Amino acid sequence: MSRIIKIIFISLFVFNASAENTIDKAPVLNDIFYGESLFYAFQDKHFDAISKLDAELGQYYALDNPSLDPFNQHINHAEFSAGSFELAYRMHQRAGRAIKAIMESSLNQEIRNEAAYRLAQIYYRKNQPGNALDILEKIQGEMAEDLRVDEIYLRAQVYISTGKFSESIELLKSIESEDKYEGYILYNLGIAYIQNGEEKKAIETLARLGVISTDDRGVLALKDKANLTLANRMLEKGSPELAKKYFSLVRLNGPFADRALLGMGWVNVSLGQFKKALVPWSILQEREITNESVQESLLGVPYAYGQLKYYGQAALSYGKAMDEFGGEIDRLQTSIKSVREGKFLSAVLQKQGERDKNWLHNLRDLQDTPETRYIMSLMASNDFQQSLKNYQDLAELRIRLSYWLATLDVYVELIEIRRKYYEPLLPVVEKQFKKLDARIRLRLSQRDRLDQRLKSLVIARRPDYLATAEERGIQDKLGKIELYLSANPQHYTDEVRERISRLKGVLHWNINKAYHERLTNAYKQMQTLDIYINKLNEAYQSFVRTRQAATQSYEGYDIPIRQLKTKIQANQVKVNGVMARQGRLIEALAVNELERRRNQLEEYQIKARFALAESYDRATKKQQKAEEEKIIQEIEKNKNLQQSSVEQPVADEIQKNDSNKAAEEVVQ
Amino acid sequence: MRKIILAFLAIMILNSFSVNAADVSKEQIKGLDEQVQDIKTDVIDLTADLLQLEEKLLFPSNSQFALFVSLADAEDLRLDAIQVKLENKVLAHHLYTFRELEAMQKGGVQKIYTGNIKTGEHKLVISYTAKASSGGEMKRSASYTLKKGVGPKFVEIKIGGPDAGDQGLEFKDW
């Protein structure tokens, strides 16, 4: 029973994996760089997606006022995305930390609830249901509508894993009619009933799932799984007829077909229906020989023949089975050798570039690779898949690190070229720039003074500020004349005074009369001047930036590049070490599995050998018996013949005598 | 006898579920997984620093110019290829894979080009080929004058959608 539960949990995990929630649609974008990160994520290029998003998040949090940045509108989505990408890249620790940070933030309750749900999901997938339950308990109030069913479903799964079966049943029943997890809910409900000791309800529920109508491949597989589970339960209960019924509901082209066919054969054997057992096993024998069920059926078929007393046929089948087992043992031996030579890991890396979900299965298409068909069941296990993916990820990191190391060398060269070009050039440019800079600053301060004067004219009318150069010249001349006259009063006649006064009056009149027009013109001139000043400023800024960029293009890189190189090299050492360990672990798992299968086949071979001998014996005995019977028959036949040969001459004599008598009578 | 056979076959069926991983403990797998996670974190952080350095070195902010491509209406067309010309020189050319297209249909944005240009006005010409939902092949082209200031310049080319012009293209300055 405990084994069944273990299997159920393994399968439960597998079926859950297909129902996982990920970011699958971008929001309306307010930040183009966030869109770029999603572009990589949607292609499963999680490393690039995380790097880009991390850079965005880093820049956002470094801002003085992040709320003004357009990225602010995506921040919640982006934080979840980061966690989701990290999860997809199997960085559970970091994903968990990121989501926990949101949970503990001051964001609104709905967002924090969603974070709690995501974190609980991580813990559940990491096989830590206790932690998942603690996190789920922190959810307060209502969940967002689009996650309501997901949260209930996850909670129910966590309850099953933590032994709270009644609570789980209650929750699963509350969402039984939901389409989102069609099939999965019934399956888990059935399991919860089994665990809760409600056998009858469990069977009813799984039986309902077993006849569900669907086109979904995942649910179809789940249906098969439910029927197989039911068949096994029936076998355990000693009800082979019912087991037969459930085995027959498993699809012939589904992933559980082989096990069902094998089971069906054995059920028939247990019922004494040996001819019927031959039907599923014959179908099974046409399938892939590396399959465990197929190999087992190679023993089953002759066994059934033997029970039917077709010893000759049984002996032939055992002989065929032995040949097959022998061939497979040789292949396994070669595979073990090949794995130990590292060919399996090379094949894994050859398939590196493929983002196809079936890449694991496609490994068998490669030439000179070990017999991966034999480790398919191992490949289906979560640990092995994670190990393989980790190995591939490490290989990818190794390539990236090598690329960056080579790139940094190029950068060093590039910087050197720039240095050689700019260093002699910049002092000359700098000298010219200083001259121009002084002139520019002078012009800018002149413009500012003019601007201030114009502004002051709006507040206080000062026509003299707008006097022309000629008028200012006349004003100066008149001032000088007055100064001269005050020093030489003998020349200061009334006529002169009147003339000076008239000239001053004319000048005052002209300046005042033209004031408004001049003020308007001055503003217009200032506007025109500002256009040129702006251009000057742009050119100035551009020059400053270019000069700065030129300097920065080769200065200040030596230390950062050296530090980055050291970090890359340190990481390369780490990657190589862990990759070697990961590779050894994968090879050990693969070799263990291959050896297990080889040992199993060797056992089968021994069984087949003994059974073959026995069949020969029986066939020989049967033949001998048949021959003996034949001989006896022959003897009896001969006896009869001999007897008849003794009796015949007497009869002939009698007949002869009779004939003579008759002739005599005729003569007389 | 029947019970023995039943027990035997139940074990046989169950055997096919189990995975033998002798000599390799769960702790060993978990420990290695955690080490791999640590390395990933380190390399991601390191990559962020390297990208920053690369941007500073190759694309300084005063001359930086980047072009992005997105799909406005995912259902209507299947983008095959795109060509970008700046001042009559081919800047970028890209043939789309199925996965790239799928990513763009989900709302992802492709950065098709990053480089450096001078301040001022530049003529950009975008040409693309695509398959319409009707199955017909489309070849379209549109031009855009971009104004490069002293800061970095980012332009999004949005293909399809209701606001696109006759050529099915919309440009957006970021």
- Over the stretch A435-464, which tens digit does the pLDDT of each residue have? 888 888 898 899 899 888 888 888 888 888
Q: Give the least confident one: A276-285, A390-399, A605-614, A658-667.
A: A658-667
Per residue in A298-353, pLDDT (tens digit) is 999 999 999 888 888 888 999 999 999 999 999 889 888 888 888 888 877 876 55
Inter-residue contact A117 to A83 (CB < 8 Å): no
Per DSSP, A45 falls in state: -
Residues A375, A594: Cα–Cα separation, whole Å: 7
* Residues whose CB is less than 8 angstroms from the CB of residue A212 and which lie 6 or more positions away in sequence, other chains included: A182, A183, A186, A219, A223
So what's the pLDDT on residue B23? 60
> Which residue of chain B has the CA closest to A399?
B43
Q: Do A383 and B26 touch (CB under 8 A)?
A: yes
From B10, B103, B106, residue closest to A235, measured CB to CB? B10
So what's the pLDDT on residue A584? 93
From A235, A381, A401, residue closest to B43, measured CB to CB? A401
So what's the pLDDT on residue B42? 94
Of B68, B82, B60, nearest in space to B113 by CA: B68
Quick one: how far is CA A628 from the chain centroid?
Answer: 72
Tokens of B120: 């001022």
Residues B88, B66: Cα–Cα separation, whole Å: 17
Residues A310, A256: Cα–Cα separation, whole Å: 31
Residues B2, B19: Cα–Cα separation, whole Å: 28
Q: Which of residues 291-330 of A touch B (CB under 8 A)?
A: 292-293, 296
Tokens of B145: 């004058």
Tokens of A154: 């996850």
Q: Do B32 and A582 touch (CB under 8 A)?
A: yes
Q: Does A90 touch chain B (CB under 8 A)?
A: yes
In the predicted structure, residue B168 carries a pLDDT above the cut 60 = yes
* Residues whose CB is less than 8 angstroms from the CB of residue A105 and which lie 6 or more positions away in sequence, other chains included: A112
Portion of chain A with pLDDT greater than 70, in percent: 89
**A443-451: long-range pairs with CB below 8 Å, 24+:** A443/A533, A443/A536, A444/A533, A444/A536, A447/A529, A447/A530, A447/A533, A450/A526, A450/A529, A451/A526
Chain A residue numbers touching B103 (CB-CB < 8 A): 38-43
> Which residue of chain B has the CA closest to A91?
B37
Of A399-408, A428-437, A658-667, which has the strongest mean pLDDT? A399-408
The enclosing H or E element of A186 equals helix A184-195
So what's the pLDDT on residue A575? 96
Q: Does A29 touch chain B (CB under 8 A)?
A: yes
Residue that is written with structure tokens 């006064």 in the block? A501
Q: Do B39 and A415 touch (CB under 8 A)?
A: no
**Bridge partners of residue B115, in order along the sequence:** B65
Higher per-residue confidence, A660 vs A215: A215
**Cα dist from A596 to A114, A341, A377, A590, B18, whole Å:** 45, 19, 12, 10, 11
Q: Do A414 and B57 touch (CB under 8 A)?
A: yes
In the predicted structure, residue A655 carries a pLDDT above the cut 80 = no
Q: Do A32 and B68 touch (CB under 8 A)?
A: yes
Q: Do B110 and A93 touch (CB under 8 A)?
A: no
Q: Do A262 and B22 touch (CB under 8 A)?
A: no
**Bridge partners of residue B153, in order along the sequence:** B65
Residues B78, B135: Cα–Cα separation, whole Å: 9
So what's the pLDDT on residue B95? 96
Q: Which of residues 613-642 of A touch B (CB under 8 A)?
A: none
**Cα dist from A547 to A402, A405, A412, A630, whole Å:** 34, 29, 21, 115
Relative orientation angle of helices A343-350 and A558-667, to the nearest 10 degrees: 110
From B29, B108, B110, residue closest to A585, measured CB to CB? B29
Closest Cα in chain A, distance from residue B55 (Å): 11
Global model pTM greater than 0.80: no
Q: Give the least confident one: A50-64, A192-206, A314-328, A364-378.
A: A364-378
Residues A284, B126: Cα–Cα separation, whole Å: 59
Q: Do A269 and B5 touch (CB under 8 A)?
A: yes
Report domain extents, chain B. Answer: 25-58, 64-173
**Strand B137-148 versus strand B153-159 pairing type:** unpaired
**Cα dist from A435 to A441, A442, A540, whole Å:** 10, 11, 13
In the predicted structure, residue A400 carries a pLDDT above the cut 90 = yes
| Most A-contacting residue of B47, B113, B163, B174 (CB-CB within 10 A), to test interface | B47
Per residue in A456-512, pLDDT (tens digit) is 888 888 888 888 999 999 999 999 988 888 888 887 788 888 888 999 999 999 999
Q: Which of residues 136-175 of A touch B (CB under 8 A)?
A: none
| Most B-contacting residue of A267, A393, A404, A576 (CB-CB within 10 A), to test interface | A404
The alpha-carbon radius of gyration of chain B (Å, integer) is: 27
**Bridge partners of residue B114, in order along the sequence:** B66
So what's the pLDDT on residue B70? 93
Q: Do B150 and A538 touch (CB under 8 A)?
A: yes
Residue that is written with structure tokens 């919309």 in the block? B170
In the predicted structure, residue A265 carries a pLDDT above the cut 70 = yes
Per residue in A505-553, pLDDT (tens digit) is 999 999 999 888 988 998 899 999 999 988 888 888 878 877 887 888 8
Q: What is the mean pLDDT of residues A617-625?
A: 79
B64-173 has CATH 2.60.40 classification: yes
Q: How many CB pairs under 8 A join A and B?
A: 223
Chain A residue numbers touching B110 (CB-CB < 8 A): 36, 39
Closest Cα in chain A, distance from residue B136 (Å): 27
What does the angle CA A621 – CA A627 – CA A629 come to, to the nearest 5 degrees? 100
In the predicted structure, residue A363 carries a pLDDT above the cut 80 = no
* Residues whose CB is less than 8 angstroms from the CB of residue A407 and which lie 6 or more positions away in sequence, other chains included: B50, B54
Q: What is the mean pLDDT of residues B68-88?
A: 86
Q: What is the mean pLDDT of residues A413-427?
A: 90
Inter-residue contact A289 to A565 (CB < 8 Å): no
